[in-house]
Structure 1
């Protein structure tokens, strides 16, 4: 029983460290985050931190893993809501944007995988391959305009999500209140993008008076 209690306490400590570290990494990046800041934020000793994570790289990888796993869960749920492949892409894109807004681990994973290639952690791999698959399906079903390649559409989606991430970093760096939620802005941008890449939207625009 004592061992079980100790293991549970260690698990809680580790989870608290990952959560606190995610907030710091998301806010300050890899280089700007120190063990001292993490210990203060998590309310643990340096010994407890280094017991679980002997290096900052190990801690960053744990944060990335948590953020990637959380993203995959949200993305799978968004994809399963049904609809056409293009509707799935829209659902997934909005879900990813919402997660970036709400979960420090996802924000941190996005930032760390972009700023620290040596970690060999790519947060985009938790959602971008599915987006590419659905866009290829949309092209096969002739839901994309004939001049739109699935790869180009995937790049557009990736750029939209990157814009949300950069916007969140700007908000963190300013004293001003946060701007309106990215999911809403992203939904508007996605609808605008569809007018260019969607087959039926293009036809409607072409035949409009």
Structure 2
């Protein structure tokens, strides 16, 4: 019983550290994140932090893994609810906007992947392969506008999401629109060149 209690306590401490570090990495980036602030926010000692995560890289990788897992789960749920492949792409894009706007874990994973490739936090792997697959399926089903190539459409979706990531970074001179508002506007514009006039995947998802 004592051993199980200790393991549960250690797991809770580790989880608090990951969540606190996620907020730091999301807002300050890898270089701007300090162990001292993470400890303070998680209400743990420096010894407890270094026991679980001896280096900043190991902490960042744990945060990245948690953000990727959360993204993968949410994206799979969005895909399962979609009626068509193209609707799935719209649903996935909307889900990513919601995650980036509302979950520090996901913002941290995206930022770490973008700014520090050496960490091998491949956040895009949690959603881009599925987007690419659904776009190829949409192409086979003639859901794409004639002349639109699935790979080009996948690159466009990736660019839209990358734009959301950058737009969500703190900026002292402005208060950005929500990720959902940004995505809705960009996606409507993108559909003019991707989808047929009668099909709006963001609404169909």
- TM-score, with normalisation over the residues of structure 1? 0.90
> 1:93-116 CA deviation, whole Å, 9 max, x = no partner?
000110011111100000001111
- Residue of structure 2 aligned with 1:188, choices 182, 185, 194: 185
Q: What secondary structure is seen at the aligned counterpart in 2 of 1:30?
A: helix
Distance 1:175 1:46 in 2: 35
CA contact (8 A) 2:82 2:91 kept: no
Q: Which position in structure 2 is the counterpart of 1:143?
A: 143
Query: In the alignment, does 2:84 pair up with 1:94?
Result: no
Query: In the alignment, does 2:203 pair up with 1:201?
Result: no
Mark the runs of 5 or more structure 2 residues left unpaired by the alignment. 199-205
Q: Which position in structure 1 is the counterpart of 2:30?
A: 30
Distance 1:89 1:118 in 2: 29
Shift >3 Å, 4+ stretches? none
Q: What secondary structure is seen at the aligned counterpart in 2 of 1:80?
A: helix
1:175 CA displacement: 6.5
Distance 2:111 2:100 in 1: 10
Q: What secondary structure is seen at the aligned counterpart in 2 of 1:180?
A: coil
Bigger relative contact order (CA 8 A; separation at least 6)? 2
1:83 CA displacement: 1.5
Distance 1:173 1:180 in 2: 12
> 1:53-111 CA deviation, whole Å, 9 max, x = no partner?
01111111100000000001100110011212111100000001100111111000000
Query: In the alignment, does 2:124 pair up with 1:127?
Result: no
Mark the runs of 5 or more structure 1 residues left unpaired by the alignment. 203-209
Distance 1:27 1:14 in 2: 20
Distance 1:151 1:142 in 2: 15
**Structure with max Cα Rg:** 1
Distance 2:121 2:107 in 1: 13
Q: What secondary structure is seen at the aligned counterpart in 1 of 2:148?
A: coil
Q: Which position in structure 2 is the counterpart of 1:17?
A: 17
- TM-score, with normalisation over the residues of structure 2? 0.92
Query: In the alignment, does 2:75 pair up with 1:79?
Result: no
Distance 1:134 1:174 in 2: 38
Q: What secondary structure is seen at the aligned counterpart in 2 of 1:148?
A: coil
